[in-house]
Amino acid sequence: MDPMPVERPPLVVASPRVRVQRFGSPSDAGKLLARLLASAAVAGGVIYLSFLANPSESFGGVVAVLGFFFIVVALLASVPLGGAMVWTWLFALFSRTRGGALYIGRSLCVERGQRLDTFAPADVVSVGAPRLAPGWMAIRLESGDVIRAEISDPADRAAIAEAIADGGGRGPWIAPLYAPPSPRSLARPLAIAVTLFAALVTFIVAELFSRSDALALLTGWAGLLAWLTVLRPGPARRHLAIGTDGVDLRGEGARRFLPFTRIERLEPTPYGADLVLVEGERVPLSVVAPEVTLLGNARKPSPTVRGGPESPALSLALRRREALLQRLQAGLGAGEALAGEERLASQGLSLSAWREAVRGLVNEGAPGYRAARLPTEQAVRILERGRAAPEARIGAALALAGSTDQALRQRLRIAIEDCADEPTQTALALALEDQLYPSTLARVQRVGERR
């Protein structure tokens, strides 16, 4: 079996008082309202310029109508939506706390009486103790939700932070994936400078003719400047999953799987690690956000840092960096191929013929020359080996599908859940239940050809 980190059992910590603040904070509502109003201000400037150029032309009229419509929609949507978010936040803030427990494994669960709230550990951005509330712990999530629990024992608080970063239970290790820090570019400062200069010039020119013209232009430029500085939408959320078979980069619109057999070496970086593939491509994996590093006043975080003066967000990110390096090194340090892997491949046979061939190969009680050709334990180890070829692992699952040993089947299910490659994981699960379809197998083969 591949050498992987020791599986951490789920952590359960009881708390006399637990509270979950949903729907973010008032700043989230304020920022949403500011985005909408800034967009409306830009649209107002476009309307004014279109009419100022030539209100009788069709193009200017269309722009003006569309811009006016956007302003109306923004105003109608921003005020009720912002008010609703503030109201729900205040309701959650002053809600009654209850005794409960935190359960941290594959999921982060908060149990309070008959209510159970579930969160993804990869969505946690900081874990720390509030300065104004000694004995309490605050777990903040990407969505803005905050879990507050009274945890008086410092050892329990440290164990919670460690469990969130390291994960537990079955399945691949999952963490947020950030864009690597890019070199300083002059594009954004130049755009801000040009916007400020144009706003000043147009304001002075308009002021000479009409104060209303100057105010309209200034409003539009101010909205554009707000978009360029603090109100721009952030990058799309991505996640990183590491299983026994490789690394899966999961985005909102695309996924990319990198098997460990394609990774030549690992190079640690202050933000995570760089994977150097056998063909020379370099893939950066950043689990420490650049802005978090700057807020924590640690330009080059060290994997040995624990606690100290760092911010809660930076402390959690450093723990995730440690876990990232441990899992990558364990996956790259897997042993040599096991004997029998090539005999479990399809070798061009149809699905039904392949199933019969591997079952006769692994069936130790079969009569004739096939007896004990490949022991059951060897087939199990091939399925568990993440670096084995997907076809060999699927062949092992087909051969073991008829087993009635419940302990063995549970062991195989755990190995399947540890796969990071979703097509291979699906094919293995179906093959173990003897429900593999040619289309599922073809999908695995197509994905393998694109790697």
236-278 per-position pLDDT tens digit: 678 999 999 999 998 866 789 999 999 999 999 989 999 999 9
The mean predicted confidence, pLDDT, of the chain is 78
CA distances from 207 to 48, 53, 120, 214 (A): 15, 17, 54, 5
Alpha helix positions (H), 187-289: 187-209, 211-229
User: Could you give the CA distance from residue 34 to residue 221 in angstroms, rounded to a whole number?
Assistant: 15
* DSSP 3-state of 17: strand
User: Could you give the CA distance from residue 194 to residue 212 in angstroms, rounded to a whole number?
Assistant: 23
What is the reported pTM? 0.74
E-assigned strand segments in 228-365: 238-242, 246-250, 255-259, 263-269, 272-277, 282-286
186-238 per-position pLDDT tens digit: 666 776 777 777 667 766 766 666 666 666 666 667 766 766 666 666 666 78
pLDDT score at 397: 94
Radius of gyration of the chain (CA): 28
| C-alpha torsion sign, points 251, 256, 259, 263 | negative
User: Could you give the CA distance from residue 412 to residue 396 in angstroms, rounded to a whole number?
Assistant: 10
306-346 per-position pLDDT tens digit: 434 468 888 899 999 999 999 999 888 877 778 888 899 88
CA distances from 220 to 37, 198, 224 (A): 11, 11, 6
Residue pointed to by tokens 């933000």: 271
Closest CA to 398 of 379, 423, 375: 379
Q: How confident is the model at residue 383 (pLDDT cuts 50, 70, 90)?
A: very high
User: Could you give the CA distance from residue 170 to residue 415 in angstroms, rounded to a whole number?
Assistant: 9
Closest CA to 175 of 295, 44, 81, 289: 289
pLDDT score at 307: 39
Going along the chain from its start, the domains and CATH numbers come out as: 1-166 (2.30.29.30), 235-332 (2.30.29), 342-450 (no CATH)
Residue pointed to by tokens 């109003």: 37
Burial of 115 (0-12, 13-18, 19+ CB in 10 A): exposed
pLDDT score at 264: 92
